[in-house]
Structure 1
Amino acid sequence: MSKRVAIVTGGSRGIGRESAERLGRDGFAVVVNYAGNETEAKAAVDAITGAGGEAIAVRADVAEVDQVTALFDAAETAFGGVDVVVHAAGTMYLAPVVDIDFDALDRMHRTNIRGTFVVGQQAARRIREGGAIITFSTSMLGIRMPSYAPYAATKGAVEAITMILAKELRGRDITVNTVAPGPTATALYLDGKDEETIAAAAKAAPLERLGLPEDVSEVIAFLAGPSRWINGQVIRVNGGVV
């Protein structure tokens, strides 16, 4: 078999980028998927290749079947196959239920739920034996903070898709798990929050800080590499906040 290959959706920023760079350091050839920010995707590729790894960037909307198919095609053409898919692409819309903007809700559903189905379908069809599929949920399902209902609902769907897919891949030697970070210092989480809100979130965990992207990427690396007996699980990566 050729070198192990990982596709990381949403790999140009935040936890996705940190995961892409970590897998590159671990010896994976990495396909950095991005939706629109080519500059950040190129920077992620440069970071991986600059450290001696192999990487390419491929643009694709995770909710579009043809584009995701082309993403997997590009991985196979460049590196010979796909062994790991880290589906980190997602978007967050927050609002109290009473104030929901349904157009914004539908856009988030398209990326977070439909995107998980689209990426999961290609991963299930094309990952090689001994591979891994890793999706992203959120610890907000347990924390249940006001205004997070729209976002948490989509991630509840991601957990359901992931757990069922793990059983559907019986006999393939492919693990399927979801990682559920708590408050993590990324642009996705910090955007629009004032200092008081961020400080309160940092105090919520017994470790009294926000998570960092590298805290989560360590778990991604474990699930993508040495872990072969963790399957069909939701792993809360939140410093003990819940």
Structure 2
Amino acid sequence: MAEHTLRDKVAVVGGGEKNLGALVSRVFAEDGARVVVHYHTGEKEAEETVGAIEDAGGQAVAVQGDLTDVAHVRRLFDTAVDTYGGVDVAVNTTGMVLRKPILETTEEDYDRMFGINAKAGYFFIQEAGRRLNDHGRIISLGTSLLAAFTDGYSTYAGGKAPLEHFTRAAAKEFADRSIAVNVVAPGPMDTPFFYPQETPERVEFHKSQAMEGRLTRIEDVAPLIRFLATEGAWITGQTLFPNGGYTTR
């Protein structure tokens, strides 16, 4: 990937059917990448994202899978290799948010949150490391709560926190193949995942903690992911925080 473009590259986007993942899928396709759009339950959204890419003259295919199942992670990358001949960029935007006090958190809550946010993230990085071409890019979606803290998000922030350590290890282990591995950790994003966890008052508080008094938008984050996928060759093992200066006290 010496040239700073995605032209003729192949990208796998975990959770690539909607919200930030869909925007990343479309941006990559606009840059000339062939895109493997992963989805778990959003079949309709995946079809719409693939359709939009194809209507614009790009190439994409949708793949269903539960990334907490390692066999599904492997099948996702198998599809990319079988369909397009290889993989150059792997972006995992999947995750689950839960705001619940520690004293009310069940074992089922804990297992579900760590399965989606940590286990799936780990084996996505692992399979990407196995299957990516040299000079590839691996990007995971974290959270700005890795650098700040607030009440209620113990299993969400806790489940995302291991991504930093997985990423640092992978950055060292894959360095001999010039594969860069990073985390992008946005502030609270203006998507349907955020609002069910918060009261209107807390939404306003979160807005007040960033520039312009607003939440992070997917359009704030996608350009950074694109940069890491194209020009960020010398950035690896890092966590980057596109959050408008968001802090939590």
TM-score range, shorter chain: over 0.9
2:88 equivalent among 69, 83, 87: 83
Aligned counterpart, 1:73:
78
1:174 equivalent among 161, 164, 179: 179
Partners of 1:15 and 1:166 in 2: CA distance: 24
CA RMSD of aligned residues (A): 1.5
Q: Which amino acid aligns with 1:112?
A: N
Partners of 2:41 and 2:68 in 1: CA distance: 14
Partners of 1:81 and 1:174 in 2: CA distance: 14
Contact 1:19–1:214 (Cα < 8 Å) also in 2: no
Contact 2:99–2:197 (Cα < 8 Å) also in 1: no
Aligned counterpart, 2:168:
163
Contact 1:62–1:111 (Cα < 8 Å) also in 2: yes
Where 1:207 maps in the other structure, the secondary structure is helix
Deviation at 1:84, TM superposition (A): 0.4
- TM-score scaled to structure 1, two decimals? 0.96
Where 2:140 maps in the other structure, the secondary structure is strand
Q: Which amino acid aligns with 1:213?
A: I
Aligned counterpart, 2:213:
208
Identity of aligned residues (%): 38
Partners of 1:41 and 1:126 in 2: CA distance: 23
Where 2:202 maps in the other structure, the secondary structure is helix
Aligned counterpart, 2:156:
151
Q: Are residue 224 (structure 1) and residue 229 (structure 2) matched?
A: yes
- Once structures 1 and 2 are overlaid, which stretch shifts more, 201-210 or 167-176? 201-210
Aligned counterpart, 1:98:
103
- TM-score scaled to structure 2, two decimals? 0.93
Aligned residues, how many?
A: 242
Encode CA deviations 1:150-186: one digit per residue, 9 max, x unaligned: 1111111111111111111121010000000001101
Q: How does 1:116-155 map to 2 (within 5 A)?
A: 116-155=121-160
Deviation at 1:194, TM superposition (A): 3.3
Encode CA deviations 1:117-139: one digit per residue, 9 max, x unaligned: 21111101010011100011110
Partners of 2:138 and 2:40 in 1: CA distance: 20
Partners of 1:100 and 1:128 in 2: CA distance: 41
Segments of 5+ residues of structure 1 without an aligned counterpart are none
Deviation at 1:30, TM superposition (A): 0.6
Q: Which amino acid aligns with 1:15?
A: L
Q: Which amino acid aligns with 1:115?
A: A
Where 1:129 maps in the other structure, the secondary structure is strand
Q: How does 1:11-90 map to 2 (within 5 A)?
A: 11-90=16-95
Aligned counterpart, 2:4:
none
Partners of 2:217 and 2:134 in 1: CA distance: 31
Encode CA deviations 1:91-142: one digit per residue, 9 max, x unaligned: 1222111221221110111111110121111101010011100011110122
Deviation at 1:206, TM superposition (A): 2.6
Where 2:185 maps in the other structure, the secondary structure is strand
